Amino acid sequence: MRIVIGGEGEVAYRLAQALMEEHEVVLICSDDLREARLERLDVEIVPGSLTAGESLRNAQIDRSAVFIACSQSDERNMVGCVVAKRLGVPRTICFLFRRSFQSSQDETDDLAESLGIDTVVRPPERLAEEILHVVSVPGALDVRHFAQGRVRLVRHPVEEGARITKAPLKEVDLPKGVVLVKVIREEKVIIPVGDTQLRNGDQVVAMGNLVGINRLLFRFLRPRSRKADPRRATIIGGGLVGLAIAKDLEAAGWTLKVVEANSKRAEEISSQLQALVLQGDGADPTLLEEEGVYRDSVLIAVTSNDEKNLLISLLGKHMGIPRTITRADSLVNEILFEKVGVDVVRSSQGAAISAVVRNVSAGGAENVAELEHGDAVVMDLAIPEDHQACELFKLQPPSSARIGAILRGRSVIIPHGLDVVKAGDRILVFCRREEETGVREYFENLGEG
């Protein structure tokens, strides 16, 4: 598929990097903002502006399937999509970053529809959605939803005294409806098999249905004596992301505090929430102590400043808060913050980029998710129509591949070795990034021979 990306900076670079392996990618960017690292991309570079008809024609927009406008200017992105549409591109995707275009989702959607824009991507909303998924699962370090939420992927630590540590996996009666796809032990990746013995502190990545995942978490990864986490959280930062998270957690019955540095913004959001809204510096340890933040189960730092978010999270860890969730919009910081002890790190740009990659790759469906900062993926693959039905254990894909779910019509099967894979099935497959191409080719060629 030919894809044209218009924009400069981190979002454009990471989108091009993510899409270039599977698609023909053209990047439009102005010469004065062109970065040296762009030369490392396997893409065609067209100098110019994403709003200029000449630049779009030079990028052969009329031969392309998708145009993605992702500059830092919302106005330029919308104009670029309008011009690209008039020049013949079938689909347009428009990034909107600023609050002025996000006062109401319905209003934004109406505006996009009137301009002929097919898809609007709001990075703050994507980030809030990802954080909410993680917060909703006690103790989780990552949570992803597939197949309209019927299949979930969860990364969760093995706690001291957990049942799953008592014997090798083949002797542990794991619940139905869940598949272990990966174990992380002190930064080493282990593909779990029957003889694998899990330890306290390991991180387990599992795929399954809601019932199976919950049974795994509460019966096998936590000791039975462990008390339930209190549904209390503090959110530092009352911007678009913080407000969206607060509204959804309130609706789910959580007790919240929101700390916002700007007095006008604090007053504005206090009228929209039942939660206690405090005007102050979320990095002030005295304020956090006085407000009893140490009694919360989660601290969420989502200001617009990466370094401040890191400081807040480290203060939270020092105070003994079990889980810290932090916003870091720089890719370098995403990785660094986890290495220094932050439990969960998410980026508004990264969340939006992942959503666009899934959208583009599936022509509108969510078929690919990147995990572990791109080191692992989940793919939605079709089993060829000429494949002869066979049991799962007879398949021999690349070593890291694990089938987490079989989608058969409206049914979702969380498989085990004796389950049968049939022609026409769709499968959700977890694998390492370096084996992605090999896994795709293996399943695409199942019907041969």
The DSSP line for 15-73 is HHHHHTTTSEEEEEE-GGG--GGGGGSSSEEEES-TT-HHHHHHTTGGG-SEEEE-SS-
- Measured in degrees and rounded to the nearest 5, phi and psi for residue 351 equal -65, -40
* pLDDT tens-digit series, residues 14-47: 899 888 888 999 999 886 656 667 778 889 999 9
Segment (H or E) for 370: strand 368-371
* pTM reported for the whole predicted model: 0.84
The torsion angle over the Cα atoms of residues 263, 266, 270 and 271, rounded to 10 degrees, is 70
Regions of the chain short of the pLDDT cut 50: 101-102, 363-367
Residues 6+ apart with CB under 8 A from 246: 235, 238, 256, 258, 269, 273, 275
Give the residue among 305, 301, 307 at the shortest CA–CA distance from 324: 301
> What tokens appear for 179 in the block?
């598949």
The pair of structure tokens assigned to 325 is 């969730």
Return the amino acid letter for 344: V
Which residue, 231, 153, 198, is CA-closest to 431? 153
State the span(s) of the chain assigned CATH 3.40.50.720.
2-121, 127-131+230-351
Q: Helix or strand or coil: residue 182?
A: strand
pLDDT at residue 335, rounded to an integer: 83
Residues in the chain: 449
What's 139-220's CATH class?
alpha beta
List the alpha helices (DSSP H) in 220-291: 240-251, 263-270, 285-290
Could you tell me which CATH class the domain 375-444 is placed in? Answer: alpha beta
Give the pLDDT score at 417.
82
Q: Are 384 and 395 in contact (CB under 8 A)?
A: no
| pLDDT value, residue 363 | 47
Helix extents (H) in 319-398:
331-339, 348-361
CATH level 3 topology of 2-121: Rossmann fold (3.40.50)
- Find the helix or strand (DSSP H, E) in which 306 lies: helix 306-318
Structure tokens that stand for 398 in this block: 């690349």
N-terminal to C-terminal alpha carbon distance within the chain: 28
Alpha-carbon torsion 389, 393, 394, 400, what sign?
Answer: positive
Residue in 307, 285, 281 with CA at minimum distance from that of residue 294: 285
pLDDT, tens digit (0-9, with 9 covering 90-100), for 62-102 = 999 999 999 989 899 999 999 999 999 999 999 988 755 44
The predicted structure's pLDDT at residue 329 = 83
**Where along the chain do the CATH 3.30.70.1450 domains lie?**
139-220, 375-444
H helices of 178-239, in order, are 210-215
CATH 3.40.50.720 fits 127-131+230-351, yes or no: yes
The answer to whether 2 and 65 have CB atoms below 8 angstroms apart is: yes
Name the amino acid, one letter, at 7: G
